[in-house]
Amino acid sequence: MQNSYKRIDAHLSTLGYCTRSEAKKFMKIYEVFVKDVRVFDPSIKAYHNDIKINDEALDPETITILLNKPSGFICSHNDAGSLIYALIPARWNRRNPKISTIGRLDVDTTGAIILTDDGALNHKLSSPKSDVSKVYEATLAVPLKGDEAQIFASGELMLNGEKKPLLPAILEVISETYVRLEICEGKYHQVKRMFAAVGNRVLTLHRVSFDGFTVEDLKEGEYKTITYAKK
């Protein structure tokens, strides 16, 4: 577990509470304690875990968030429109390093997405070799033909524009037009392209889980911090 030792203004700015130049004013407005002693000098060095603000511990030095993404939100820092980062506290958006999504969901896709400022974790889970389970539920435009589960599980399905076939995927049929699909890749628009390849079209798409983390207990737009166990 991290417990860095540095100036208080460096802690505050890194975690998004204020800029380093604002730290002195911040410490007059808010009660900043080091080992239960109130301090006012931002140049004092202290361990992260010894600092409290208004009797609350500092935010963790790295943070990982599971969010239930609503439709209409964009997984980007820079695009116009409703950005997914507006759904988390403003302070977290001022952290350095910056919080980013692990992969993306299309603007009209809902469900589980993970955000983190842990660059190593993001790189690991975003890697094409990561083999991360992603489970989706999809509403389809027309009834299934009946051979889709076999095609998806074959490991031989080629998507247009790809050089290699998809890895096997598990299709669970809930009704003729509603399915659950587990994949372990993250190709561009993969689920929609898979159903297009078998003559169907996805009308709605919801990601139920990412790497075992589910959003069953979160309403759309809600989030919670999570701990990622090292694998």
- Tell me which residues are annotated as active site: 106
Three-state DSSP string of 11-34: HHHHCCCCCHHHHHHHHHHCCEEE
Longest CA–CA span in the chain (Å) reads 70
Beta bridge partners of 135: 182, 209
What residue type is 128 in one-letter code?
P
Pairing type for strands 110-116 and 202-210 reads parallel
Angle, vertex CA 230, rays to CA 46 and CA 76, nearest 5: 80
Cα dist from 167 to 131, 153, 158, 193, whole Å: 10, 8, 10, 14
